Amino acid sequence: MPSLTRSEALTRAALVAVDSMEVDLDLDRGPEVFGSRTTIHFSCREPGADTFVDLRAHEVHAVSLNGTDVDPASVTDGRLTLTGLAQTNVLEVDSTMAYSHDGQGLHRSTDPADGADYVYGHLFLDAAPTVFACFDQPDLKAPYTVSVTAPAAWTVLGNGAATLLAPGRTSLATARPLASYFVTVCAGPWVSVRAEHDGIPLGIHARRSLEPHLREQAQQMIDVTAASFDEYHRLFGIRYPFGEYHQVFVPEFNAGAMENPGCVTFRDQMIFRGAATPDQVFQRSNTIAHEMAHMWFGDLVTMRWWDDLWLNESFAEYMAYRVTSAVGGFDEPWVEFGVMRKLWGYAAERAPSTHPVAGSPAPDALSALGNFDGISYAKGASVLRQLIAHIGDDAFVVGVGEYLRSHAFGNGELAEFIAAIEGAAGRSLTAWSAAWLQTAGADRVGLEGDVLTRVAPEAHPADRAHTLDVAAFVGGREVARVELVVDGERTPVPGLADVPTGALVVPNASDLTWAEVALDAATIEGLPGNLADLPDASARSVLWVSLLGSVARGEVDPRTVLSVFVTAWPREDSAAVLSRVSLLMTNQVVPLFLPPGEQEGARARVADSADALLERSAGVEGVSGDALAVLAARVWARTGVDEDRLRRWAAGDGIPAVLVGDEDFRWSVLRRLATLGVLGDDEIEAAEAADRSLAGSLAALGVRAVRPSAQAKEWAWGRLRDDAELSNYAALAIAGGFWTAPDAALLRPYVAQVGDLLVGLSGRMGDDAVSRVVSAMHPTSLVEDGTLEASNAMLARGDLTPGVRRALVDANHELREALASRRRFD
């Protein structure tokens, strides 16, 4: 089916305006399909003209335009043609729709814990027509009135306050004007915790089987929600405009969360079944603040077309970290931003798919999907921090408020936002916008003696001024910090010449700007013995990010990073740094950049480091000690080779007390046993029988796929290729384990078949789901020239969807980085 083009959207928006949407859904027709009746009131600026609405139905029963029947067969390729429009029009469509199992449209999932079914709507990016007929583009907003028939035992939630009209019949209050992709309905036997703050009714909801965990964790989420509301009201001077505020933790969700006004959906892994480290709690809290920011940036004011998605995501990213830093009660949120989000963004900048923050070409809706990446999120947020440094926070806040008020319940674009900020700042931002928002690429900053150098990427030249600082540390204490504006290729750093020899000197030490830091050889040499002693967590994060980025660039030997890891990581205090750096070591540095013959020895060194951290945690009291113990145990469970210890841990014997009863941790231990080839079918079946949850079912799929046997790989491949009922999460769980094997010969026969497999999945799943499977299913870990040849052949295919192609481009680039590093350092 064709994706709506920008040209078509412009033409349609110039022709019609939507006055109201009425949607009546019948979710009580069994597990496969549901009923959908839609009434659209719209006007036409050129009476007599033709247009189309978007509709991808299982079956269309009846269509009426202004009282005249329209042949249902006129729906072609997901479009219902409308001819001879009047000045005011009423379109009625009666359809049967199909539930999805890929996390898009109206997704239906069965909880294996109790057999209960749950339904939720995720209409981003172009899935609304699979639920109701609509003009599916972000600038044709309308008030929505939704009614739902559902099993009597179900609770129905949505964008408006729910009123139970009769058993099984719910009406949702008319929502203020929404883009079609923000509409949602969440229905099922939810367990709920309700509250109220500042006159706003609040609700936290999850599957019934998660009730104990939800009730234990709900108050913390309500507290974050309340504090975030207060701060956004203070900053924007505009009250939350969408009535009630529900946060629903739903199963098999593709993204982290979705900002549906009044009814935000989250992946329900954020309701922790076991131990949660401080960085995990922070990430959930930050996601709550992020989605709430969208109530203003995205929902109240929506981008006119997908090429301005930064007006949604960059702002929500920045605002969430700003708010959690100000009122969230968390330590060092911007450290987490650096080591988690900026690492992601810098990797996206290095890839051939890099793009500007704003105005990225999006000729059609699906092509925009790939631009929801680390550039739109992490770089965009960093650019906003630089904008504030450039014009001042007061001007920024005033300009943002003016932009929101002047475009409320409508749409905006880059030029309109820049005009509002220029008005508040009293200065032109044309050059600033061109350099920071409209040019791709990250500058690199480094030191040559007491001079800071700035190098723009050759492929994307720009003159970007950076507000940053440079700090120097000796023996675990800070001896210098210089704040400066870098507006040329070489900038003297006053006082740096007086810093003692052997000091660790860190450009961009507070991580204020968007620029990769290039470390000199002397600094890299000093990291193993000194990195952990730096008292500034931001500076430590900057050094880790630089070091890991330099490995990907092929500039630093991965063995050097391993040496830094085993000396510095066990002494680290930041949970975010501990978590992210260890994950990259075990998932990227060791398997991709080290030669196969050195990988097991490297994993053993990582496991020893985990034991060192575990031993250290015993001397730290309270929550901090527990967090260190959890982080250490998780790393050892991914890398340890002691089968007896692994089996004891799987039985709950000898593990840190905080992990007793933690089913997710037990599955990670079982996965390691399976990876080592010492876990039998009966043991997997017994573990699955003991954990009948959705998480347990998915973990078991991954454990089966990861086993290093021909039979296990054949099973996994067959499920991915042939199982039409495979859900998005099940496919991802299997794909995530497939390419693990000590003997590459076991995997090579599949490499050339990956393209056909992915195209087959694209026929069954939407791009949002398949693109995530691509990242796991690309044979990147088989770092060989033959793999690159096969990857190049995949990219040469003409039958790839935009989302699959973009994910393949990024995976291909990661493979090229690994190959280049091995050629240099092997």
CA separation for the pair 192, 186 (Å, rounded): 13
Which among 806, 826, 825 has a CA at the least distance from the CA of 366?
Answer: 806
Which among 313, 304, 18 has a CA at the least distance from the CA of 139?
Answer: 304
Burial 170-209 (b: 16+ CB within 10 A, else e): bbbbbbbbbbbbbbbbbbbbbbbbebebeebebbbbbbeb
Task: Give a three-class secondary structure readout of 189-239.
Answer: CCEEEEEEECCEEEEEEECHHHHHHHHHHHHHHHHHHHHHHHHHHHHHCCC
Q: What is the DSSP string of 572-610?
A: ---HHHHHHHHHHIIIIIIIIIS-HHHHHHHHHHHHHHH
Task: Calculate ∠ Cα 81-83-86, nearest 5°.
Answer: 130
CA separation for the pair 48, 287 (Å, rounded): 47
CB atoms within 10 A of CB 751: 21
DSSP state of 374: H
Radius of gyration of the chain (CA): 27
Q: Tokens standing for 366?
A: 């699906």
CA separation for the pair 466, 795 (Å, rounded): 37
Q: Which of 244, 291, 688, 817 is catalytic?
A: 291
Residue carrying the six token digits 């599955």: 667
CA separation for the pair 367, 803 (Å, rounded): 7
CA separation for the pair 702, 671 (Å, rounded): 8
List, in sequence order, every residue forming a beta bridge with 144; answer none if it has no partner.
21, 175
CA separation for the pair 247, 229 (Å, rounded): 14
* 386 SS3 class: helix
CA separation for the pair 210, 218 (Å, rounded): 12
What is the dihedral angle through the alpha carbons of 570, 576, 579, 583, rounded to the nearest 10 degrees?
A: -120
Q: Which amino acid, 657?
A: A
Which among 676, 754, 698, 703 has a CA at the least distance from the CA of 251?
Answer: 698
* Chain Cα centroid distance, residue 517: 24
Residue 244 annotated in active site? no
Residues, the chain, total?
826
Report, as residue numbers or ranges, the catalytic residues. 291
